[in-house]
Structure 1
Amino acid sequence: MALRGLFTRGSGRPISVQSLHKTMQRRGYALSSYVVTPNELNDALKKNAPTTISSDPRVVPICAAWFLPNDPQGRKGIEIFKKKRIPSARFFDIDAVKDYESKYPHMLPTCEVFAEAMAKLGVRKEDELVVYDTEELGIFSAPRVAWTMRVYGHPRVHVLNNFKLWVQEGLPVEEGPPMVPNITTYPIPSYNTDMVVKYAEMKTIGYDHGKEGAEEIQILDARSKGRWEGSEPEPRPGLKSGHIPGSINVPVYELLDPETKTLLPPEELKKIFESKGLDPKKPMITSCGTGVTAAVIELALKESKFGSEDDRRLYDGSWTEWASRVSDTSGLIKTKTGV
């Protein structure tokens, strides 16, 4: 994503985009790709570790640990973060940084709420952020947090591939109570509406599916096959399972290595998308249960360069909003036998 406008150092002096790029180059920023390996992050942290003294851009690890509400072990992201984390990491709570006026879980927050959350994390606009998941899940909710940061225009964001490998490779970790970051001044950002789809538009797309002359928009659903088919229950009690008319099931686990839970190599991801009958020339919308793992599909599309980034969006409310709002008689909830 391109850098726009002016940013402010800790001293309050404005710096231009050109100056920011020069500063990053001078301080040895090596994270050129969106998805980074543990060793790449470790090397970058050695060169640009967060400090309370310098106001220069830093590399800051962001833990996005999150578990489904029906997690068998009752695990909580913040608890996992406190037990084991990358040194100097901050915790981004997707259940807290949300739209408080919405009844649906962790919908995108207002620009003001996002800026306040980043300030409390001790993050500055010019910092380079690497978002990572839990050791247990590999890649799960980190892509959602990274995508959120992109929606609000943070200039340099990456996803770690992944913390499970970080631990296995013996890279440094911290345990126990985390540090309390110094609060920064994070400017209130703008909201990139081109990256997001809302319910009203999705409903129109659902009704138009299969009609002559309708735009051929591909909807990719990250939930399990059983939930997509309507043969397995949703993790939220009382919510109907099934899928949006015309949606294509792309379960998250198919995009990850079964052992390491890392994102598969770009060529393998591309083959998976092709096997689903997806057309990279047509617009795509990613969806899931609540908009979290939909971002894993977006991550895989971005990493494999499948389709145009300008033609890819994420349905924020995803299945939880959809199944809660469409009526039983609308025909907008399909099952395996009613594709």
Structure 2
Amino acid sequence: MRAPTLTGFVPLWRPAAVRPLQSHAHHTSFLRCRGFSSYFVSPRELDEALKQNAPTAISTAPKVIPICAAWFMPNDPEKRTGRQAFLKKRIPTARFFDIDEIKDQESEWPHMLPTCDAFADAMSKLGVRREDEVVIYDTEELGLFSAPRVAWTMRVFGHPKVHVLNNFRVWVQEGYPVETGPPQVPNITKYAVPSYNTDMVVKFAEMKTIGYDHGKEGSEDIQILDARSKGRWEGTEPEPRAGIRSGHMPGSTSVPFQELLDPDTKTLLPGEELRKVFESKQLDPQTPFITTCGTGVTAAIIEAALKEADFGTEHDRRLYDGSWT
């Protein structure tokens, strides 16, 4: 195991001599050798992929780009913010995706999905192109928390290659490089305005109907999985946002996201173990799922876990944006 290292500021783009354009054959070979085999990737896989990135900013070859999705609950006792965590310690060349800013600015609810135009603008400012492969990661403190939400958001807007790091805590513990301080601003790209995959999202009107119809004869059979703590689901613990009562939607099943993570590393459990958790909840992989939580962040952990465990089919897994709030 290599000794952990914490460097000072590392530029996102290192100046280098201009190199001749690579042949199409070489470019194709480059792409073939870098693809990740699964949705979740290990620190070693990401480190090896980053080493294969083109060394110059002028290269047109697709890149692997780490995206920091750091976010803390509004009632965090230490008053930490995602941006502070990003500046404190991050993967070199990483960019910061702020879910409290890249959102529907006209909604009164926190970090709802942005518009297609807003998403494209955010990707452009982050220096991401559609052909780039993104790996989303969380904070060292939390392990796995908000990264699945950002990864899910990118999939909703059709970004072709999206993965989640499992996870930054392990990245740091195993001594992979980190940087600190203000990052260099990436080159702005032209990210085309995408379409919106409505099949991945549940909105309030539909969710209200599902709730009212629960238990009625002829109502659609849907499994609602709630990622909040058991106490919040039961109504015995307060919600982290003022004025929001606790409790749960009719017919929902409590699946606290912590049960899907390793208790020490906070990495997502292996697929076989995740299946056992879902089976212990008496869930049926043949019945559609809707994942929910407080606002739609940790619900994405359940969605990612279902995906990793291959529990149910892709088109039968949706997330309720806005969730309990």
Give yes or no for TM over 0.5.
yes
| Structure 2 counterpart of 1:65 | 70
Tell which has more relative contact order, 1 or 2 (C-alpha 8 A, sep 6+).
2
Separation (CA, whole Å) in 2 of partners of 1:28 and 1:58 = 12
| Structure 1 counterpart of 2:265 | 260
Alignment of 1:125-204 (within 5 A): 125-204=130-209
Bigger mean CA offset, 170-179 vs 124-133: 170-179
Aligned residue type for 2:173: Q
Aligned residue type for 2:289: M
Runs of 4+ in structure 1 off by over 3 angstroms are 22-27
CA displacement at 1:55 relative to structure 2:
1.2
CA displacement at 1:40 relative to structure 2:
0.2
Aligned: 1:120 with 2:125 = yes
Separation (CA, whole Å) in 2 of partners of 1:47 and 1:27 = 11
Separation (CA, whole Å) in 1 of partners of 2:286 and 2:313 = 7
Aligned residue type for 1:79: Q
CA displacement at 1:280 relative to structure 2:
0.2
Separation (CA, whole Å) in 1 of partners of 2:280 and 2:181 = 45
| Structure 1 counterpart of 2:57 | 52
Aligned: 1:299 with 2:304 = yes
Give CA deviations for 1:137-193 in whole Å, capped at 9, x if unaligned.
000000000000000000000000000000000000011111111111100000000
Aligned: 1:246 with 2:251 = yes
Provide the secondary structure at the position in 2 that maps to 1:318: coil
Provide the secondary structure at the position in 2 that maps to 1:177: coil
Aligned: 1:94 with 2:96 = no
Provide the secondary structure at the position in 1 that maps to 2:274: helix
Decide whether the 8 Å contact of 1:27 with 1:48 is kept in 2.
no
Decide whether the 8 Å contact of 1:139 with 1:263 is kept in 2.
yes
Q: 1:159 to 1:50 in 2, by over 3 A?
A: farther
Decide whether the 8 Å contact of 1:69 with 1:235 is kept in 2.
yes
| Structure 1 counterpart of 2:228 | 223
Q: 1:171 to 1:96 in 2, by over 3 A?
A: same
Separation (CA, whole Å) in 2 of partners of 1:173 and 1:269 = 30
RMSD: 1.4
Question: How many residue pairs were aligned?
Answer: 301
CA displacement at 1:49 relative to structure 2:
5.3
Aligned: 1:275 with 2:280 = yes
CA displacement at 1:27 relative to structure 2:
5.7
Q: Which runs of 5+ in 2 are unaligned?
A: 1-23
CA displacement at 1:28 relative to structure 2:
2.1
Using the aligned pairs only, state the percent identity.
74
CA displacement at 1:317 relative to structure 2:
1.3
Q: Which runs of 5+ in 1 are unaligned?
A: 1-18, 321-339
Separation (CA, whole Å) in 2 of partners of 1:237 and 1:200 = 23
Give CA deviations for 1:273-312 in whole Å, capped at 9, x if unaligned.
0000100000000000000000000010000000011111
| Structure 1 counterpart of 2:9 | none
| Structure 2 counterpart of 1:319 | 324
| Structure 1 counterpart of 2:33 | 28
Give CA deviations for 1:56-80 in whole Å, capped at 9, x if unaligned.
1000000000000000000000011
Aligned residue type for 1:202: M
Provide the secondary structure at the position in 1 that maps to 2:70: coil
Question: Which of 60, 76, 87 does residue 81 from structure 2 map onto?
Answer: 76
Decide whether the 8 Å contact of 1:291 with 1:318 is kept in 2.
yes
Aligned residue type for 1:56: A
Give CA deviations for 1:19-60 in whole Å, capped at 9, x if unaligned.
9xx737546213121000000000000012574121110000
Aligned residue type for 1:75: R
Decide whether the 8 Å contact of 1:23 with 1:57 is kept in 2.
no
Provide the secondary structure at the position in 1 that maps to 2:85: helix
Q: 1:54 to 1:240 in 2, by over 3 A?
A: same
TM-score, normalised via structure 2 length: 0.90
